[in-house]
């Protein structure tokens, strides 16, 4: 799974998302992250059909929304997503949140994997107890848990449980939607490498073995967010960023969400 992907939350279902994906592919990204609830799977599908590399070269992740999980219509929702995405498989399918009915959804995911509609299956926003439930009741372990992760929130318990079961972690909102980029430490560290605050934060994620899917629809920023593989943060800089952790969430707590 490519360690860098383009996030697509809030990219509109037309030219904006299509251009962003084409710019990302040109900049070397080979991974796109979307979801049914983002309402842009049609544009994602069009972008991949018209990209400068074959569909098979780009890792495509989508997610099944809570209403479909609760209604027990995961398989139908996946078929609808594949039609919107104009592809006969996704590389990774995620349960978006641990909504009631997630164990039945997981069974449907396992069947989709056998049917070849998905190449890998995983979860998102799952805490230790939700993961343990899948470990105890599922046949296949999740390949990935996609969770909120950035210097202000590292969710150590969910990560150590995932590590124990060989579940990869993808960070959502790795830039905290731009909220903390003014943090003076990032710019200060960036100066030492000729890199921006955003690049420092994304590189810190990668060096912690966390996959990143920063979102942008701006060509310059897409390129900037992709230039992460030509420098390495020192241990001292890694530790200085680690020390910023303060349990601050952007999104809701997965143990208590109401959508
Ligand atoms: P993000 O942390 O990626 O921040 C994106 C915002 O940061 C941009 O809109 C822009 O304002 C700013 N930005 C981006 N690059 C920048 C740069 N180089 N310099 C300065 N500012 C920059 O936020 P996100 O979109 O919430 O998260 C990334 C992706 O994660 C989403 O697009 C989506 O694909 C996924 N996601 C998943 C979940 C989930 O529940 N699984 C939840 C939220 C997001």
- Angle (deg, nearest 10), helices 15-26 and 41-49: 40
Q: How confident is the model at residue 134 (pLDDT cuts 50, 70, 90)?
A: very high
- Comparing C-alpha atoms, which of 118, 114, 50, 56 is closest to residue 81? 118
Catalytic residue among 38, 102, 152, 193: 38
pLDDT the model gives residue 170: 98
- Comparing C-alpha atoms, which of 14, 11, 102 is closest to residue 32? 11
For 65-124, write each residue's pLDDT tens digit: 999 999 999 999 999 999 999 999 999 999 999 999 999 999 999 999 999 999 999 999
Ligand 1 contact, 9 CB (< 6 A) = yes
pLDDT the model gives residue 15: 98
Which of 92, 204, 211, 216 to mutate to test ligand 1, by most ligand atoms within 8 A of the CB atom? 216
Q: Give the distance (Å) from ligand 1 centre to CA of residue 84.
A: 23
Q: Give the distance (Å) from ligand 1 centre to CA of residue 115.
A: 32
Which residues are within 8 A (CB) of 204 and not within 5 positions of it... i.e. 6 or more apart? 151, 233, 237, 238, 241
176-181 CB contacts, 8 Å cutoff, 24+ apart:
176/150, 176/152, 176/250, 177/250, 179/250, 180/150, 180/151, 180/152
pLDDT the model gives residue 108: 98
Q: Summarize the confidence of residues 199-228 as an average pLDDT.
A: 98
More confident residue, 182 or 210: 210
Tell the residue nearest (CA) to atom 36 of ligand 1: 172
Q: How confident is the model at residue 129 (pLDDT cuts 50, 70, 90)?
A: very high
pTM value surpassing 0.75:
yes
Q: Summarize the confidence of residues 142-152 as an average pLDDT.
A: 98
* 38: annotated active-site residue: yes
61 in Cβ contact with 33 (< 8 Å): yes
């Amino acid at each position: 799974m490519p360690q860098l992907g383009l996030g697509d939350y809030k990219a509109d279902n037309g030219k904006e998302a299509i251009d962003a994906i084409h710019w990302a592919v040109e900049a070397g990204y080979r991974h796109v992250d979307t979801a049914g609830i983002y309402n842009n799977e049609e544009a994602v599908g069009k972008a991949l059909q018209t990209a400068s590399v074959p569909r098979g070269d780009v890792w495509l992740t989508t997610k099944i929304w809570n209403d479909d999980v609760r209604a027990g219509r995961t398989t139908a929702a996946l078929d609808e997503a594949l039609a919107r995405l104009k592809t006969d498989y996704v590389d990774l399918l995620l349960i978006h949140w641990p909504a009631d009915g997630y164990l039945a959804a997981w069974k449907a995911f396992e069947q989709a994997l056998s049917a070849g509609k998905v190449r890998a299956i995983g979860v998102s926003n799952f805490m230790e107890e939700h993961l343990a439930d899948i470990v105890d009741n599922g046949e296949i372990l999740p390949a990935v848990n996609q969770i909120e992760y950035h210097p202000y929130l590292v969710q150590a318990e969910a990560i150590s449980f995932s590590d124990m079961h060989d579940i990869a972690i993808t960070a959502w909102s790795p830039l905290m939607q731009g909220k903390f980029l003014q943090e003076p430490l990032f710019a200060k560290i960036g100066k030492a490498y000729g890199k921006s605050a955003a690049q420092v934060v994304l590189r810190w994620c990668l060096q912690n073995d966390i996959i990143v899917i920063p979102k942008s629809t701006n060509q310059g920023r897409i390129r900037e967010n992709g230039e992460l593989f030509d420098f390495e943060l020192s241990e001292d800089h890694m530790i200085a960023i680690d020390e910023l952790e303060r349990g601050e969430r952007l999104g809701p707590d997965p143990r208590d969400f109401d959508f």
